[in-house]
C-alpha cells in the first residue's frame, strides 16, 4: 500500500493524517484511494492495448457508487451477479453493453431486466438456466447473447471458500458437458452464442492455474469451431491475488501478457477479464479505535470498535490482514502480543491474531488491504450501524462517499406490532 507512510510519528495516507480522518468522520471508517484504483485498472487496460478487449470489474468486491463511477470514467465494463449490482452500475453511469451477468441463481425477474436493457451477455452456469433464458427471451421477443461459464476442473490452490473451478464447486458447467450444452444452445431460436467463460477462484498467487484453465478453454474453442460454433470472446475471469502479508502474486502485466500470448493464434477473439480484488483490495483501509486493552494471564486483547460485522474476512476464511498503529512505534514503547478483537458477541470476532503492538485505550489502528470484500460484506449484526466510507481524491483532498448509518437506518422498513 504505497500511499501509507509515517510522518512525524503519525500514520499518513498520502499527505492526509489518519487521525484527522478519524476525527472528522468517526470510527470505524473505510478509506479508499481513487488514484490507486485508477492505476490498478489502467494496468489491465495498458497490458491489453493491442487486443480487442473489455475489462469487467467484479462489482462484488466493492460496490460503492463512487468506486463504480470512477471505473466508468476509466472505460470499465462490469461483471455482476445480481439485479442489485446491475442497478448499481446503471446508477453509476455504466453502458449496459459493457455488462456481463454471472451467478448461479439468476431469477426470472433478473433475466427480464437484463434483457430489457441489452447487456453484453449472460454467463450461463447451468443447462437449466440456459433453457430459462431462452424461454424468457422468446416471450419478450428478444435474442439473448450468452456465454457458457465452463468449470475447467483446475485447482486454483486457494482457500476452499473462494475456489470456484473444481468439479465439486457449484459454479459453471462441467468441462465434460460443455460441447453438448453448446450444441443445444445453437438450436435455440432466441439464444445467440457469443462467448466462453471461466473463473477458477479468488486470491490466486500463481500463474499456473490461470494458464492451465486457459489451455482447457481454448481446446473447447477449437472443438466448437469444428461444430460450426464460432466464439466471439473468451472471458478468462478474475481472481488475481494481492499481497496481504508476504504473498508474491504475479503482476497484472505479467498475468495479462502470459494469457494473451496463449491467444495469439486467435486474433479475432475479444478477451475479457473480470478483476475485482486486484483493483480495490490494496486501495482500502479500515480505521478503528481501541476501546480497551485487556491483559489476563498470558492473553492480551486490543478491543476495538470495528468487528466481524464491519470486516468478516478474518472470521470467514481466516484471512490475514496487516494491522498498523496510527502512532508510530518508538523504541521506548512496551509492546504486547495482542489479539485484535471487536465488539461482536462471537468468539470468532477477531480481526487479527497474535500481533505485536504497543497500543493504549483510545489509540487508532489501521487494518490494511480492506478495499475488497470489506464493506461489501458488512452487516448490522448485533444492531451495529455500518461505517462511513471516504474517498481520497488525491494526496490532499477527501470526500465522504457513504454516510455512516444511523440507528433509524437499522429498522428502516420494519414495523412494530
Q: In what order do the strands lie in the sheet with 16-17?
A: 4-7, 10-13, 16-17
Q: Are 196 and 221 in contact (CB under 8 A)?
A: yes
What string of DSSP letters covers 266-298?
A: -TTSEEEE---HHHHGGGEEEEEEEEEEEEETT
Selection from 119, 112, 115 nearest residue 94 by Cα:
119
| Percent of the chain as helix, strand, coil, to the nearest 5 | 35, 25, 40
Cα 264 off chain centre by: 28
Beta strands in 204-349 (DSSP E): 233-235, 270-273, 284-296, 299-304, 323-325, 336-341
- Catalytic-residue membership of 243: no
Query: Per the structure block, which three cell numbers stand in for 152?
Result: 475447467
CB atoms within 10 A of CB 26: 14
d(CA 41, CA 160): 27
Radius of gyration of the chain (CA): 23
Quote the CA–CA distance of 29 and 310 in Å, as a whole number: 9
Q: Which of 121, 198, 345, 368 is catalytic?
A: 345
* Residue in the block written with cell 475488497: 372
Cα(365)–Cα(285) distance, integer angstroms: 10
Catalytic residue set: 345
Amino acid at each position: 500500500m504505497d500511499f501509507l507512510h509515517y510522518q512525524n510519528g503519525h500514520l499518513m495516507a498520502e499527505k492526509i493524517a489518519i487521525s484527522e480522518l478519524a476525527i472528522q468522520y468517526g470510527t470505524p471508517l473505510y478509506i479508499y484511494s481513487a488514484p490507486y484504483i485508477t492505476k490498478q485498472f489502467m494496468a489491465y487496460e495498458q497490458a491489453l492495448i493491442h487486443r480487442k478487449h473489455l475489462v469487467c470489474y467484479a462489482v462484488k468486491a466493492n460496490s460503492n457508487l463512487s468506486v463504480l463511477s470512477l471505473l466508468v470514467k476509466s472505460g470499465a465494463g462490469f461483471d455482476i451477479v445480481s439485479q442489485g449490482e446491475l442497478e448499481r452500475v446503471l446508477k453509476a453511469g455504466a453502458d449496459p453493453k459493457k455488462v456481463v451477468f454471472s451467478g448461479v441463481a439468476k431469477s426470472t425477474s433478473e433475466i427480464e431486466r437484463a434483457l430489457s436493457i441489452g447487456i453484453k451477455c449472460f454467463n450461463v452456469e447451468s443447462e437449466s438456466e440456459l433453457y430459462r433464458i431462452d424461454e424468457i427471451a422468446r416471450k419478450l421477443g428478444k435474442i439473448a447473447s450468452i456465454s457458457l461459464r465452463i468449470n475447467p476442473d483446475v485447482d486454483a490452490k486457494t482457500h476452499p471458500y473462494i475456489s470456484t473451478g473444481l468439479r465439486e464447486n457449484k459454479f459453471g458447467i462441467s468441462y465434460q458437458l460443455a460441447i453438448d450444452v453448446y450444441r443445444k444452445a445453437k438450436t435455440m431460436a432466441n439464444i445467440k452464442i457469443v462467448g466462453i467463460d471461466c473463473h477458477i477462484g479468488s486470491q490466486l498467487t500463481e500463474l499456473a492455474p490461470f494458464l492451465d484453465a486457459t489451455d482447457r478453454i481454448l481446446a473447447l474453442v477449437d472443438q466448437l469451431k469444428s461444430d460450426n460454433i464460432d466464439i466471439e470472446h473468451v472471458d478468462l475471469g478474475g481472481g488475481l491475488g494481492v499481497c496481504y502479508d508476504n504473498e508474491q502474486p504475479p503482476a497484472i502485466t505479467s498475468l495479462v501478457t502470459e494469457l494473451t500470448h496463449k491467444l495469439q493464434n486467435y486474433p479475432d477473439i475479444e478477451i475479457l477479464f473480470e478483476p475485482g480484488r486486484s483493483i480495490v483490495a490494496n486501495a482500502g483501509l479500515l480505521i478503528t479505535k481501541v476501546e480497551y486493552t485487556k491483559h489476563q494471564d498470558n492473553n492480551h486483547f486490543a478491543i476495538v470498535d470495528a468487528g466481524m460485522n464491519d470486516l468478516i474476512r478474518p472470521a470467514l476464511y481466516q484471512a490475514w490482514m496487516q494491522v498498523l498503529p496510527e502512532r508510530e512505534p518508538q523504541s521506548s514503547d512496551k509492546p504486547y502480543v495482542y489479539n485484535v478483537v471487536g465488539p461482536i458477541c462471537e468468539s470468532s470476532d477477531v480481526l487479527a491474531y497474535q500481533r505485536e503492538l504497543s497500543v493504549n485505550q483510545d489509540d487508532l489502528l489501521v487494518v490494511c488491504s480492506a478495499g475488497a470484500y470489506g464493506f461489501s460484506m458488512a452487516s448490522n449484526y448485533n444492531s451495529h450501524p455500518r461505517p462511513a466510507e471516504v474517498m481520497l481524491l488525491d494526496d490532499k483532498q477527501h470526500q465522504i462517499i457513504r454516510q455512516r448509518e444511523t440507528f433509524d437506518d437499522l429498522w428502516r422498513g420494519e414495523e412494530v406490532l
